[in-house]
Structure 1
């Protein structure tokens, strides 16, 4: 009978040691060998790309430049005879170059001076581009300024027409207050030059409309009686009131005269004409065009100023 102290101690599984499986099998099977040779053949037969070849050449060049000559090198032995030691500089000067000259690989087929010529042309192109950009910027600034001025001129023309309309209306009211029961009728040459041009343009439009109406009425009346007119002589037409008078005779001799003072005033810029009309409204009728209000006296208490900017 085996004693308890003589019983074999059971092996603890926590203390078991596992042997790593070898990375490469000791014995290669035929299938493994065939697969390995196929991979090696494919690797040898694969044509490397240009980028891969350049990368390998660059790596080999850097490795060669960064590796010092070994003492067994024939060139190193020749320099050692002249006192050269590893890490020293060549020549008598201690400040001489210790590292080899860096190699700059020229990959294109251009001449040696082509790079400097390209740089010069590039600088010229950049300078020309900067000059052109500056010119375009100046042109754009001028264009924006012109558009801004055009918009201001159009606004001044609109304001001028409104100011002239107000001045004309106030003048009519003043005439009716001084002449009760009478219609405001003033010859064109006697109208204030500040709004005479506006009145003249309105009268010209009225004349054009009147001529069109008379022409239409005359043609209508003649077409309606054309059949009977062909059978009548001139005496009969005169007796019936259908003489040979020309069209729209009522206004053909009524020419609108343009005074020299109006021509001088119309030649001024719109802003200057507007200023003259607004000042006239203030002095004559105590009316501020920018406020849109007629004050009781010349002091015009409450009005910010004379110009539009003062009313902003």
Structure 2
């Protein structure tokens, strides 16, 4: 009996009365309250403590507002050489009267990056403008060349047939979108009710190729339809990738 009691633990010993204060294992109310107070104190300190950047800005602003006094070594040397507060630097006193202003750099770019970026932007704008001007000149040359080639290669009958084909396509595409004709001759004479013979007298050489180009350009721009391919594309990008070009001879 006595041996069995000795083997049992003594529940009144210090091993059982000791408080375990390891984190997450709080069994004593006093320890829990103390820990809660410490956490609250840390939280308040964190809220009241200013960020480093704000402290630096306040110190910097304070230093910039404060005038340089005689306790400054550089200022003291100037006074020894005859400098009086408010006068300009130099032999005749016509130089700078105020210290060089401080420009605060807040971004992470290297020194000179901003000016270099402006130079690049200016150069890019000039190049873009030059490319646009060149493109306009090339388009004008191509337009004139297109008209010359159309006039010399195709006869009046062929161009007239192409004009009628373009007019029918233009009318059908405009009707599908409930659009009115831009020009009366964009649609067939049978639809508009004008005199066909009189209409083609107005479109005699060398204006006939020009009228054909105007109608085909309108159909391409407004409806993404190529009269020479006979296909209406999904969008301008699809047409540029799939269609060989605007002129008829490219499609031959």
TM-score by length of 1: 0.29
The higher radius of gyration belongs to 1
TM-score by length of 2: 0.34
